[in-house]
Structure 1
Amino acid sequence: MPEPGTTLLERPRKPSPLRAVSLPVGLLRTARPRQWIKNVLVVAAPAAAGELDSPHAAGQLAVVFALFTAAAAAVYLINDARDADADRAHPVKCRRPVAAGEVPVPVAYAVGAVLAGTAVGGAAALCTPMTGALLTAYLSMQLAYCIWLKHVLVVDLAVVTTGFLMRAMIGGVALGIPLSRWFLITTGFGALFMVAAKRYSEAVQLADSKGATRALLTEYTTGYLRFVWQLAAGVAVLAYCLWALESGGVAASALLPWRQLSMIAFILAVLRYAVFADRGTAGAPEDVVLRDRPLAVIGLVWAAMYGLAVADL
């Protein structure tokens, strides 16, 4: 019964159980769990150097993966809070939790700040100083991207590409592994290939949706973005081939020159991904990588060949 002197409309409303549940779910969705697969790149340098066979290395890489995931989630939360109004005008992004009102903007900012602080503090406490510095640099660069750099032509592509490169570097930095120049060039231009292909696909798919896409896509031409991803693919392939050929001779115990043979699988993987880029359907790289079975098989063959090369089998 309502209290005397009040009406049913004036009674205090109890929090909706559905609302209480939807907030954590919305925060998790905003953190982009499907994008966490990118952070597997932290094992790239140790794997290339054959340094994954010790419990210490595995434990350190697990910590680095968790810290990088927290940092990336913080960036997603802050980015979506800043872009909430623009996302509401987008045909797809309007369904993001912050834009849809499932996660209040102040909550997104607060959780993002907590995750960023946790990532930096955890790196300082649990990792080497260089690892903490690299993670701090990643966060600073990505926050600058959210605020300003994503509106600067070409620089926006460079910043996103550098984020991938930092993921690939941090595992080696954490374990004190020297990073090959060919490894850095291959990884950097491979990342630029995927980033430019993603932008190209977005430009193709949303060409008729003026004002409902990334602001810079109206300034890039599809011809320019096609040129960038084709150039990046060529440099990545060339650098990988030079890396494989420069890595030394074949061990006496090896059955075949696996490192050199892995060039075939690498080139096939690039060519297969380029099919989706050319069609304008590479807007979600994680979907291409996870859902295309031939590409997955080629990737497994490449990983097997490179693993055999590292093990000198």
Structure 2
Amino acid sequence: MHDTVITYTTLARLSGLLKLMRPKQWVKNGFVLAPLMFSGDFLNAGAVSHALFATLLFCLASSATYIVNDMRDIEHDRRHPKKSKTRPLAAGIVTIPMALTLLAVLYSTLVWGWFVAPDVVQVIAAYMILNLAYTFILKHEPVVDIFTIAIGFVLRVYAGAVALGVPVSSWMFITTLCLALYLAAVKRRQELSQNGIEGRKVLAKYSVSLVDRYAEMSATGALVFYSMFVMSAKPQLVITVPLVLFGLFRYWYVVEELDGGESPTDALIADWQLLLTVVLWIAACGWALWPGQGL
């Protein structure tokens, strides 16, 4: 019986450590693969391996930032009605020493990654420094907090380009920034409308109408700049523009009518139409950019 209790405790802690890394959020690191798609190198085994390795390193780096953030906010999370049960540190499933050990493993792996792909790890280092600044300072500054989140997505795209040694179109950078600003603004909107100002201190400096305007402006910018990118650099991708437009419309519907959007990842996974749109967009991009494919 005693051994069984120990086993259950060990499994709970291992599960808690995995949850502490927030693997569900690794979906965001799919942005690292964007240059692989748009460069047309997705049939090149070497390019694919480099892109996947960069994505893996970014997953580890993002997990490390989540752990630091959770340790920083542990007392606040313990008072939160939801986070006190869902965050492993706040719930007491994982201890601070365990979290520090996991953090050391992640950092050590990234150091090893430096010797394999130093240019990529340089970008990741910039991402981690930015997120440390966000955790301790920037997340309390209105507007700056939203832009900090968005820049993290731009760095993901840049890391993917560096991994492949290919240039990134300025259009892709600005499109990524606008799309990320849209997602971040919607996230703030939902946090504010669902939890009021209790969830984050910075929410007291926002209003739903204000972040709605931020989201609308960013979504419009993302659509316009993506369309300009397609028309100027990849005209064969014009078939994907309606999918992008539908995805923006559907995501806003999920936010407004289904009360989703506080977590973009959860919204994507939970809504089959959004998920199907992303799959169709990837398939359409692959078909249009397939080597030798002419339109």
Matched, 1:294 2:281: no
Task: Tell me the residue number matched to 2:255.
Answer: 277
Q: Which of residues 118, 130, 150 is equivalent to 1:141? A: 130
Identity %: 31
Structure 2 counterpart of 1:276, one-letter code:
V
Task: Tell me the residue number matched to 1:130.
Answer: 119
Give me the whole-angstrom Cα distance separating, in 2, the residues matched to 1:137 and 1:298: 32
Moved over 6 A (4+): none
1:178-217 residue CA offsets vs partner (Å, 9 max, x unmatched): 000111111111111111111111111112xx53x11111
Gaps of 5+ in 1: 1-14, 250-257
Structure 1 counterpart of 2:54, one-letter code:
V
Tell me if the contact between 2:33 and 2:52 (Cα under 8 Å) persists in the aligned partners.
no
Structure 1 counterpart of 2:89, one-letter code:
V
Matched, 1:268 2:246: yes
Q: Which of residues 195, 202, 215 is equivalent to 1:216? A: 202
Give me the whole-angstrom Cα distance separating, in 2, the residues matched to 1:169 and 1:309: 23
- Give 1:160-199 correspondences, 5 Å limit: 160-199=149-188
Using the TM superposition, give the Cα deviation of residue 302 of structure 1 relative to its aligned residue in structure 2, in angstroms. Answer: 2.2
Using the TM superposition, give the Cα deviation of residue 156 of structure 1 relative to its aligned residue in structure 2, in angstroms. Answer: 1.0
SS in 2 for 1:24: helix
1:236-266 residue CA offsets vs partner (Å, 9 max, x unmatched): 00001111111266xxxxxxxx412221111
Task: Tell me the residue number matched to 2:146.
Answer: 157
Matched, 1:97 2:88: yes
SS in 2 for 1:16: helix
Tell me if the contact between 1:67 and 1:122 (Cα under 8 Å) persists in the aligned partners.
no
Q: Pairwise CA RMSD of aligned residues?
A: 1.8
Q: Which has the larger radius of gyration?
A: 1
Structure 1 counterpart of 2:276, one-letter code:
V
Greater helix fraction, Structure 1 or Structure 2: 2
Give me the whole-angstrom Cα distance separating, in 2, the residues matched to 1:229 and 1:270: 11
TM-score (norm 2): 0.91
- Give 1:1-313 correspondences, 5 Å limit: 16-95=6-85, 96-119=87-110, 121-127=111-117, 129-207=118-196, 211=198, 213-247=199-233, 258-279=236-257, 280-311=259-290, 312-313=293-294
Tell me if the contact between 2:36 and 2:51 (Cα under 8 Å) persists in the aligned partners.
no
TM-score (norm 1): 0.86
Give me the whole-angstrom Cα distance separating, in 2, the residues matched to 1:84 and 1:71: 20
